[in-house]
Structure 1
Amino acid sequence: MTIGFPSRTAVSACAICVAGLLALAPAAAVARTGTDPGGPGGVRAAAPQPALLYRSGTQVRPRAGAPRIPAVSALSWLVADARTGEVLAAHDAHRRLPPASTLKTLFALTVLPALPSGIRHEVTEAELAGIGPGSSLVGVAEGRTYQIADLWRGVFLNSGNDAVHVLAALTGGWRNAAVRMQAKARALGARDTQVRSPDGYDTPGQVSSAYDLAVFGRAGLRDADFARYCATAEAMFPGTGDRPYGIRNTNRLLTGADGVEPYPGLIGVKNGYTSNAGNTLVAAAHRGGRTLVVTVMNPQAGGGFTVYEETRALLDWGFGAAGRVDPVGSLDALRAGPRPAVLPVAVALDPDGEASGAPGWPETGAIAGAAALGAGAVALVLRWVPGRAARG
């Protein structure tokens, strides 16, 4: 295994996206504090107690004029305000289910800070060992040299388990990655998650929940690198010699592939599929100064694209319900240590879950817009390869 720093770092397709950041930055969202009628002595609190989200069935507290919850067949789902962490509505939010590749959000939260994106690494045979049969792959090859940024694009766009294996090997190994991911989940207040395979591959005992996945998605969007990768629709990936090939994000709500209409203002995040988990999706979108994060796990009706349409319906409901529902919980409710009811707009969460000065929600919205600009430029040089099944 060799790691080296290049004398000159190649400009990736994502660099095109970054050029539009300042021009596209949206206005900061204005937070609204919810109420908890059941609080001690009737005192108004930042958000209801988390116990409500442990109840079975659909939980929502509509005010007059609130839109009706759409019909959703997923076993579990959740809609939350990404800035404040308020949960606007949920169905079996803490039900433990296989997460498929949406677990890669937690992998990225854990491993991204440890590896500078410009590092170049020559992949070894040992680093590609143990990839599960039927895994989604981006095409990482033994003996070929990649930048760390290339590997992350392979993770976020193609859901490449081969890229996950290499990144895990560079940061302590497969088992170590699982242990660190578990610790990270607990620090963020994600108590339903049990990590067995860092790439999300079906493994006995591996579970997460709509609540936990929303926590991971929200935390990830406060990291500039995470936000940039998850918003990237298309990129070039190193191939044989000097012949890179095009890769495209498997999140069809972002790309509009296969007849799925792209969602306006979508930032991205992560989709997944395995035979055991069914289709899963964590999605975030920005509209009118507000950012929502939605998790949908294992729709029971329709085909493989139902997860996108049910997510679309929940996003539409969430934007329509703004100011017309009281929160039923908070994504901050189970975090370790003291926590603010509302994080300042320009504040991010660092790898330890504490406040830092990293980019916040304005930058996240900008990244989504910039990625759309970059997609047009990348399309000029794309050389498509046969599609692979998106499996965790």
Structure 2
Amino acid sequence: MPALKKIALTVTSAILLSGLVLSPASAADKDKSDDKQPKPPATMSSLGGERLGKPGTQVALGPGAPVLPKGLTGRSWIVADAEKGDVLAAHNAHWRLPPASTMKMLFADTLLPALQPTTLTHKVTDSDLAAVGEGSSLVGIKEDHTYTVHDLWLGVFLRSGNDAVHVLAQMYGGMPQAVSAMQKHAEELQALDTKVVSPDGYDAPGQVSSAYDLTLIARSGMQKKDFREYAATASADFPGEKKKGKKRETFEIQNTNRLITGGIGVDPYKGIAGVKNGYTTHAGNTFTGIAERNGRVLLVTVMNPSQEESHAVYKEAAKLLDWGFAASGKVTPVGELVPPKSIDTGSGTTTGGKGAQPAAGADQGSGGQAEAAHASAAGGSSGVGIALAVVGGVLVVLAGGVFLVNRRWPLRLPRR
């Protein structure tokens, strides 16, 4: 056999042998890597529908329905019709995961009726802020300074300020009282995956929620006029530090929800109306959003997507909203957003359809205290700074440049 041919055969054999040796090792490494990723429980709550209790993606495409977006990495997500309550698609919907600052939605939905954004003021003490966790997101509240309840709610919704949460909780009666009230309200909403430990969403052992629960909570919060206005506000003036002999100045705070304000690689989402974003080391990024387009109102929640892509939580939420609007009416719902325990949907009629949220606390609030907040770019074609109170047919311009779309919210609910 010619020497050149022998060399060629030897090289070929070596390549084949190395492939046999290396390929299984590579596969094993991949499996080992996959094993490190958390897996959803084999069985989860089936509240809202049997398919919602199954791990993996649940969707039932009909004729002409678009396929789900590619590259979704969220450990858990859900897309639902905010008015009818239909769950259009979901992925590990009941997986109990750390919620980060999306827990503030439950805080606001629970405490807003008791702490109305009126002219009531509170002088902050050292003890009010003593338990704020290290590394917390802050709006910049100072001890020995006075703030209105309206100021504090702006701090909660726009800057996700844990300092504002702690002050409001103290005004409510203390952190334990706030946690207890939140847990009770979660149970009333049937957000049964949710365990409240810290009302600001700061990482705490045992604190969990789910994409399903956060969607229920957001839907309930949007029943309240003040909640809708705060959640949709792009920017506002916040009281600064009082300096001796000088008039107290203000500084601008901007909503950390990038689908409202845009920036750093994220475009404002057309029709966005809130609701809340969050991040902690343990939870990763979390987000619940609500948007209106062509007469439909959708809710989306995404929990802990891949950290490899910058701001993936917003990008994946936007993709899911786009899909939901395109798929509405072309998919069979895989579940529903259940009503609160106190609501009977078996009798009477409702414009909101099945799964409508409670009238208890519905549209409560001073109705307009958030009007003083102003949108930072209300005139832009991108929709930045346009606050949608989801549910309306007419745009109403309020004093501070905040726009409200008045549709059919709060939803009308059946009674026994």
User: TM-score of the superposition, structure 1-length normalised?
Assistant: 0.77
User: How far is the alpha carbon of 1:258 from its aligned partner?
Assistant: 1.7
Residue matched to 2:194: 193
Residues of 1 paired with 2:320 and 2:218: CA distance?
16
**Structure 1 residues 167 and 304, CA gap change in structure 2 (3 angstroms):** farther
The answer to whether the 8 Å contact 2:48/2:338 transfers is: no
Aligned length: 325
2:358 to 333, 349, 366: 349
State the alpha-carbon separation in 1 of the partners of residues 208 and 201 from structure 2. 9
Q: Which has the higher contact order (CA 8 A, sep 6+)?
A: 1
- Indicate how the Cα distance of structure 1 residues 160 and 309 shifts in structure 2: closer, same or farther if over 3 A, else same: same
Question: Are the structure 2 counterparts of residues 207 and 243 from structure 1 closer, same or farther at C-alpha, using a change threshold of 3 Å?
Answer: same
Cα deviation digits, residues 157-191 of structure 1 (max 9, x gap):
00000000000011121011111111100100100
Q: Note the alpha carbon deviations across 1:213-238, whole angstroms, 9 max, x for none.
A: 00011111111010000000000000
Q: Deviations over 1:274-330 (max 9, x none)?
A: 000000000000001110000000002533401010000000000000100111111
Give the drift of 1:143. Answer: 1.1
- On the 8 A contact 1:109/1:351 being kept in 2, the answer is no
Between the aligned partners of 2:329 and 2:311, the Cα distance in structure 1 is: 30
Partner of 1:267: 273
- Closer, same or farther: CA 336–137 of 1 in aligned 2, 3 Å: same
Determine whether 1:83 maps to 2:75: no
Name the amino acid aligned to 1:315: L
* Runs of 5+ unmatched residues, structure 1: 1-47, 378-392
Distance 1:254 1:288 in 2: 19
Indicate if the aligned counterparts of 1:192 and 1:208 stay in contact, CA closer than 8 A: yes
8 Å contact from structure 2 (residues 113, 364) kept in 1: no
How far off is 1:336 after superposition?
1.4
**Compared with structure 1, are the counterparts of its residues 368 and 202 closer, same or farther at alpha carbon in structure 2 (3 Å cutoff)?**
farther
Q: Distance in 2 between matches of 1:234 and 1:142?
A: 23
Q: CA deviation at 1:370?
A: 6.1
Q: Which of the pair has more CA radius of gyration?
A: 2
Per-residue deviation, 1:261: 0.5
- Which consecutive unaligned segments of at least 5 residues does structure 2 have? 1-46, 243-247, 368-387, 404-416
Cα pair 1:224 1:364 within 8 Å, conserved: no
TM-score when scaled to structure 2?
0.73
Amino acid at match of 2:358: L
Alignment RMSD, CA only? Answer: 2.6
Q: Is the 1:234–1:375 Cα contact (8 Å) retained in structure 2? A: no
Q: Distance in 1 between matches of 2:270 and 2:57?
A: 26
Pairing 1:1-392 to 2, within 5 Å after superposition:
50-71=49-70, 72-118=72-118, 119-241=120-242, 242-300=248-306, 302-332=308-338, 335-340=340-345, 343-344=350-351, 349-351=358-360, 363-365=389-391, 374=400
- Equivalent residue number for residue 31 of structure 1: none
1:228 aligned partner, one-letter code: E
- Deviation of 1:357 after TM superposition, in Å, equals 8.8
Change (3 A) 1:92 1:215: same
Q: Which residue of 2 aligns with 1:18?
A: none
1:49, distance to aligned residue in structure 2 (A) = 5.5
| AA partner of residue 64 (structure 2) | G
Distance 1:184 1:212, change over 3 A: same
**Aligned-partner residue type, residue 266 of structure 1:** I
Q: Which residue of 1 aligns with 2:41?
A: none
Structure 1 pair 348–296 and aligned structure 2 pair: CA distance change class (3 A): closer
Whole-angstrom CA distance in 2 between matches of 1:65 and 1:201: 43
Deviation at 1:376, TM superposition (A): 8.8
Instruction: Give the distance between the partners of 2:113 and 2:391, measured in 1 at CA.
Output: 21
Q: Deviations over 1:344-378 (max 9, x none)?
A: 359973446xx77999xx9534699668995699x
Instruction: State the partner residue of 2:21.
Output: none
Q: Distance between the aligned counterparts of 2:363 and 2:279, measured in 1?
A: 34
- The corresponding residue for 1:12 is none
1:332, 1:339 within 8 Å by CA — same for their partners in 2? no
Relative distance call for 1:257 and 1:370 in structure 2 (3 A) is farther
